[in-house]
Chains A and B, each alone.
Chain A
Amino acid sequence: MSRLIASLAAAAGLLATTSARAVEISISCSALGKEYEICKQGVDAWAARTGNTVKIVSTPNSATERLALFQQLLAAGAGDIDVFQIDVVWTGTLGNHLLDLTAKGQAVIGDHLPAMVETSRVEGKLMAIPWFADAGLLYYRKDLLDKYKRPVPETWADLTETARLIQDGERKEGKGEFWGYTWQGRAYEGLTTNALEWVASHNGGTIVDEKGEVTIENPKAAEALKTAAGWVGTITPEGVLNYTEEEARGIFQAGNAAFMRNWPYAWALAQGGDSAIKDKVGIAPLPKGGADGRHAGTLGGQLLAVSKYSKNRDTATDLVMYLTGEAEQKRRAVEGSFNPTIVSLYSDTDIARANPFIGDLVDVFSNAVARPATATGQNYNKVSTEFFNAVHQVLSKKSDPAQALSRLDRDLKRIKRNGWQ
């Protein structure tokens, strides 16, 4: 009898402990579509291993809407979402609402791309773990470079000249809508990434340096912007002033441009069955700003972070560590072409078989230039907005580069008035 009671009690206890342990974690890791499928497989694998359940909260496709939604939830201290997928430049903005992952992440963080790790820190503390990386790339038309017997451009001057040549040649052959180079010039975060590439490749700095000094007013930055403004209306359609990624891809993928600046996502689509330029595309690092310049693609990508208001912080952290771990990153790279942030995966043969261009990307990622989000913290969005608006003014020929940069310098210093944080 007493044994029966004991075993009953043990069973009850077991039940109690499992039900206390098994919790539901909600994660926002995508909008719907393929990204959702890949994320779902990952969290299901973790759920099966740990006995917990995971609910995926779909969030809007547009980054601005997503950030606004996260801010709203976090500002109200709502614990409805435990794990957030955040953009590399949001760490500073959301940092106060995120859980410090330094202790849990310390052991593995050394395996990740250093630039990605840098974006995950706020004042030295690790607030997120890198999940996948992105960087600006130069897409070119292999067939057209062959046709006009030109090499892949090494500098922006080469690119300008080659684009001009191809554009003139193609137009003479009756393709009246052909353009040399397309990129993203709309007044949004994407213009910051584009313009930062021009400036950094000319060794013109990264707007604000690591110590928090405003460095944008310099002759090299002015030269970079002058070059870019020279493209608008000549090798780039004037409409670029309102292009995002998809508008730029549209022109390139329809076969109407020789070069394009875009993220790695455009590769799979340009090689898709219905693409007009299938097997005619190559990718390369973005050109240098002159012979002594450097290749600079702006670093993008996503991180995973845990909400401070989560009711199951430890379990949520465990999920983050699993998803950002080597095995899961490898699976995502093979099945979904998400670029890993763990350096050793770039020499992985399975990934190389699935994405032949992954080897080319490792250089791009290790040389990638990060936006000054860490240095400017809470104020990053203001800095970026001032920057892309100043650049937009230069591109639309409303002000000249030196003048715009000097005004920008003044405005940024005014924002910095009381320090960045």
Chain B
Amino acid sequence: MKRLARAGFWLLVIAIALFALFPFYYAVVSSFRSGSDLFTIAYRPERFDLSNYVAVFERQPFGRNILNSVLVSGSVVALSLGLGITAAYAFGRIAFRGRSLLLMTILAVSMFPQVAVLAGMFELIRAFGLYNTLPGLILANLMLTLPFTVWVLTTFMRELPKEIEEAAFVDGATPWIVVRRVFLPLMAPAAVTTGLLAFIVSWNEFLFALTFTLTNERRTVPPAIALMSGSTAYELPWGTIMAGSVVVTIPIIALVLVFQRKIVAGLTAGAVKG
């Protein structure tokens, strides 16, 4: 029985991994192919041809695009978490009037389709003189990540037992110190997860990135990939697009593997408080 359960568990793990990985694997296979190969099916790479990867970096400042994406997404995460944790403490731990209304207002920002806010945002970015700059993109992306960050962190904040800050307050600590010394460590799993999710949202963002930048040097990864074209406007340069997509997935994987420890560390901290 136990062995059966064990086998079932591993079967499930493998099934989920296959479902998640297969399209990516297919992208890797496709990235080694080119031209007419696009119209045939291959389950294994026939040859190890890196020409698409070379083309990705040669035809455009793709390294620069990746750096831009990292800078934008990194800043967005830092700002979202910084603003989010303080706001979440207030929303989650302090009872004050108008709290529900404010939370709803922040959420309302996420209720408009992106295309509808695009034009207004464009005017705003131009008015601030941030057109074709990375800070402009960071500001715009905050609109996508901040409501989510505040809400998720508030929820997790609220779940923590109320006793934990009492001692600190009795000792005369200020709310700021309580947030930093008491909640920050306890919130680690939630903060790392939210930060990771915010990073990916910003990393994937296409419409703002396309509209608010003009030159190749300022573009982030998604518009850079959308700019790749074949020899004519109709031709789809599949191999290059796939190579680009594979390249940009690597930083995310690295990020997750690096933050593994943090998530586990949070787990222990969470267990201690119980």
Contacts and interface: CB of A to CB of B under 8 A. Distances in A.
A58 B38 CA distance: 25
A60 interface: yes
Contacts of B230: 33-34
How many chain B residues sit at the interface, stated as a range, is 20 to 34
Interface string B30-61: 00001111111000000000000000000110
A76 B59 contact: no
Interface in B112-153: 118-119, 122-123, 126, 131-132
Contact of B231 (A33, A55, A76, A251): A33
Given A69-B211, A274-B35, A61 B40 contact: no
A135 B235 CA distance: 16
Contacts of B228: 31-33, 61
Interface string A40-68: 00000000000000010111111101000
Range, interface on chain A: 35 or more
A233 to B, nearest CB: 21
A32 B57 CA distance: 12
A341 interface: no
Nearest to B125: A76
Given A33-B229, A76-B122, A57 B36 contact: no
B215 interface: yes
Interface string B209-234: 01100111000000100111111111
Interface string A8-32: 0000000000000000001000111
Nearest to B126: A76
A268 B231 contact: yes
Interface in A195-234: none
A78 interface: yes
Given A61-B228, A65-B226, A80-B214, A272 B233 contact: no
A72 B119 contact: yes
A327 interface: no
B236 interface: yes
Given A61-B233, A78-B126, A69 B60 contact: no
Nearest to B118: A72
B220 to A, nearest CB: 13
B214 A30 contact: no
A276 interface: yes
B117 to A, nearest CB: 12
A60 B235 contact: no
Given A72-B118, A246-B236, A272 B35 contact: yes
Contacts of B131: 78, 80
A275 interface: yes
A415 interface: no
A35 B233 contact: yes
28 contacts: A31-B228, A31-B229, A32-B228, A34-B231, A35-B229, A57-B214, A58-B216, A60-B223, A61-B226, A61-B227, A61-B228, A63-B233, A65-B210, A69-B210, A76-B119, A76-B126, A78-B126, A80-B214, A81-B214, A246-B235, A254-B36, A254-B39, A254-B40, A268-B232, A272-B36, A274-B34, A274-B37, A275-B36
Interface of B: 34-40, 59-60, 118-119, 122-123, 126, 131-132, 210-211, 214-216, 223, 226-237
Interface of A: 26, 30-36, 55, 57-63, 65, 69, 72, 75-76, 78, 80-81, 245-246, 249-251, 253-254, 263, 265-266, 268-269, 272, 274-276
